[in-house]
Amino acid sequence: MDNGFTKKELKMVGAALYSCEGTRLRRDKRRVNNVYHWVIEFTNADPKLIKLFLLFMRKVLLIHEQKLKGQLFIYKDLNEGKVEKFWSRVTKIPLSRFNKTIILIPRGYKGKLSDRGTFKLRYHSKETFQKLDNIMRKVFQKV
């Protein structure tokens, strides 16, 4: 592949990243028949990890770009517009496909808060979720 990774390497990296920072399959309890919520969500504050998981999504999962969304989690002292533009440049996701930013309230945290917030990739597709799940099963059965 043109990015320095083989498809096999990207599958291994994508599976590992998602197992650490991805959202598991869950039921949507708001619905009457308790249907599954088939969404791939990957959340992290490190732009390099976000870009690497996006590479996996684009090159291995072959996602449809228009279905890819982003969401920001920031503290109230950050400039929302500036942080949104930063993540839009990193991810190549237009601001029009960003979900509403969530403003967090720090509770007793003594460390340094992120100046870029935390970013969530969100992609709704049952077929793609099942493809990711199949890749993860294959990768982790070898461990």
76's tokens: 């109230």
In the chain, what is the straight-line distance between the N-terminal and C-terminal CA atoms, in Å?
Answer: 25
State the residue range of the domain holding 90: 7-141
pLDDT tens track for 116-132: 999 999 999 999 999 99
Query: Per the domain annotation, does 27 fall within a domain?
Result: yes
Round the CA-based radius of gyration of the chain to a whole number and report it.
16
Mean pLDDT for all residues in the chain: 90
**Which pTM value belongs to this model?**
0.88
Mean pLDDT across 33-55: 90
- What is residue 48's predicted lDDT score, i.e. its pLDDT? 97
Total domains in the fold of the chain: 1
Query: Per the domain annotation, does 2 fall within a domain?
Result: no
pLDDT tens track for 7-43: 999 999 999 999 999 988 766 666 666 676 789 999 9
Query: Per the domain annotation, does 36 fall within a domain?
Result: yes
Query: Per the domain annotation, does 130 fall within a domain?
Result: yes
1's tokens: 């592949």
- What is residue 114's predicted lDDT score, i.e. its pLDDT? 77
